[in-house]
Amino acid sequence: MTRKLFPTSVVGSMPRPAFVRDLIMADPPLEAAEFKSKMDSAIRYVVALQEQAGLDVITDGEWRRKSYIGVIAELAEGFELGVNESDGRPWTTVVGKLSPKKPGFIAEEVRFLKSISDRLIKATLPAPALLGERMWDSEMSKDAYPTREEFVRDCVPILRREVELLIEAGANIIQIDDPHLCLFVDEEIRAKYEDPVGAMDFSVEMV
């Protein structure tokens, strides 16, 4: 396949139609085999949308994931699902030391994509520092990780292993997202950090 100078792709997740949201939020949850069968059909649909639009690089829309950052809880033990007090949404917090749980969870997404499309395949992962910003809590996490930085450093080998498995699965592009970095342009955000430049440098270093 000839690669284009400026290949086209989606940047974030694809909007989830109601039937995909129903699959993910089913209560009680669907049996694993039924969920996989129905989600595979949904992924075929979102891949067809991207191909029909003429995109050069496709993803599965991140439709298999309950949340983007929460995918780390599929890869590692040590997390607890609770509720975000500010808005009532389900929220995952680190409460124990990380240990591998299901390496290859995201690599499975890539293998399925390669079985149904001949386009370039992109896989996405959250950056370690982003996980620290969203999933570390000064009270709930302190017994396992007294500091946010300690938690972030332990995320690195978990994510690195997934990158290795993504390469083995045939991912053409691996996108590591840290949207929190863009917030540092805001003076009010920077003021919340003792050393905002150091925090930015740390985020980049962990990638």
Angle at the Cα of 54 from the Cα atoms of 64 and 162, rounded to 5 degrees: 35
Of the candidates 2, 102, 20, the one whose C-alpha atom is nearest the C-alpha of residue 60 is: 20
What is the reported pLDDT for 2? 67
Residue whose C-alpha is closest to residue 159's, from 176, 179, 134, 178: 176
0.85 surpassed by pTM: yes
Domain boundaries, the chain: 14-63, 65-206
The whole-angstrom separation of Cα 107 and Cα 136 is 25
d(CA 148, CA 19): 37
Yes or no: say if 148 and 203 are a contact pair by the CB < 8 Å rule: no
Q: What is the DSSP letter of 2?
A: P
- Residue 1: predicted pLDDT: 56
- What is the torsional sign of CA 186, 188, 189, 192? positive
CATH hierarchy code of domain 65-206: 3.20.20.210
pLDDT of the chain along its 207 residues, tens only? 567 889 999 988 999 999 999 999 898 999 999 999 999 999 999 999 999 999 999 999 999 988 888 889 989 999 998 777 776 677 899 999 999 998 898 999 999 999 999 999 999 999 999 999 999 999 999 999 999 999 999 999 999 999 999 999 999 999 999 988 899 999 999 999 999 999 999 999 999
Query: What is the C-alpha end-to-end distance of the chain, expressed in Å?
Result: 29
